[in-house]
Amino acid sequence: MPSTRDIRRRIRSVSNTAQITKAMQMVAAAKMRKAQLAAVAGRPYADLMNGVLAEAAPRIAAFKHPLMEARLVRKRAVILVSTDKGLCGALNSNLFREAVKFDRNSTVFIAAGRKAAQFISRTRRPLAAEFTYKDAPLFGEARAVSKFVQDLFIKGEVDAVDILFTRFISTLSQRPEALPLLPVGKIHALTTGASGQAQPKELPAHGATTDTFEFEPDETTVLSELLPHGLNFKVYQILLEARASEYSAKLVAMKNATENAMQLIKDLTLEYNKLRQANITKELLEIATAQMAVA
């Protein structure tokens, strides 16, 4: 049975832990707000970019691009977007559970985040490159990741590229999701639904409208620039979604940890008071017994 000194020491230890988790909760709350605003603010531009490509590309039948080349998939690349640190609940575990579904013999991974690199190394999967990104992701960081996989695809080193990340739904809900990145298939205009998911939007059939487009200098040059830029921004938007998911999950995890610590302190304090009261009662009984023996 623990002594009162042991219980006091444990209460002090749990109190220190609660102070740390409370501080981390407040930091996560501040960063979460910024990350959520950035993720939500980027969605309209991504929708508009997809809408422009979806409207323009079908009207140019001769347009072809190396990033649109579909071929038999013998080798696949997967960009795994994770956090750099832990203490964010089951966020990374759920993500890695989806990652193990890819065949390790025909899949090469690109890590975006330290936890992803650690997972790939620990599970002995092939790692092609490792990238990191800041708390507030920069477009240049996303462009570096996108450019790397575009080069792999154009050189024929991989036949398809997917990106696996955690989509931000709400503060209490984040979902791991895998999206195809390359080759670029049929382009759809996207609209963001009430749930935060990107949903395809019906487009008018080619020839059903009299709208005309004027390209300067020419349509092939314009679309050849827009297509890689659209992929770069797609990766950038995914990094924003991943950061918003991370800090939302971290806020919830630290809040739960703080509440659990406070409940544990309450239980230990009750146990301490009971033990202390029992010791006092025992001492009183010993004094009374000694007085009766003397009398």
Distance spanning both ends of the chain, measured CA to CA: 35
68 versus 121: the higher-pLDDT residue is 121
Looking at the annotation, which residues are catalytic?
Answer: 88
pLDDT digits (tens, 9 = 90+) for 25-60: 899 888 888 888 888 888 888 878 777 776 766 666
Stated as kind and residue range, the H or E segment containing 232 is helix 219-294
Compute the distance between CA of residue 35 and CA of residue 116 in angstroms, rounded to an integer.
Answer: 20
Reported as half-sphere exposure (CB side, CA atoms, 13 A), residue 195 has a value of 7
Q: Which residues contact 223 (CB under 8 A, 6 or more apart)?
A: 53, 56, 57, 60, 63, 65
Q: What residues pair up with 168 in beta bridges, in sequence order?
A: 174
| Share above pLDDT 70 across residues of the chain, in percent, rounded to a whole number | 86
Distance CA 248, CA 36 (A): 8
pLDDT of 136 above 90: no
pLDDT of residue 183: 85
Tell me the three state secondary structure of residue 173. Answer: strand
pLDDT-based confidence at 200, cuts 50/70/90?
A: very low
- The token pair at 144 is 């570096």
H/E segment holding residue 100: none
* Contact yes or no for 226/52 (Cβ under 8 A): yes
Q: Spell out the residues 6+ positions from residue 86 whose beta carbon is closer than 8 angstroms to its own.
A: 92, 115
Structural domain boundaries in the chain: 43-188+199-204+211-250
Question: In terms of pLDDT, which residue wins out, 191 or 285?
Answer: 285
* Residue 126, preceding peptide bond in cis (omega within 30° of 0): no
Spatial contact of 198 and 192, defined as CB atoms under 8 Å apart: yes
pLDDT at 2 > cutoff 80: no
**pLDDT at site 261:** 92
Full-model pTM: 0.79
Specify the CATH number of the domain 43-188+199-204+211-250: 3.40.1380.10
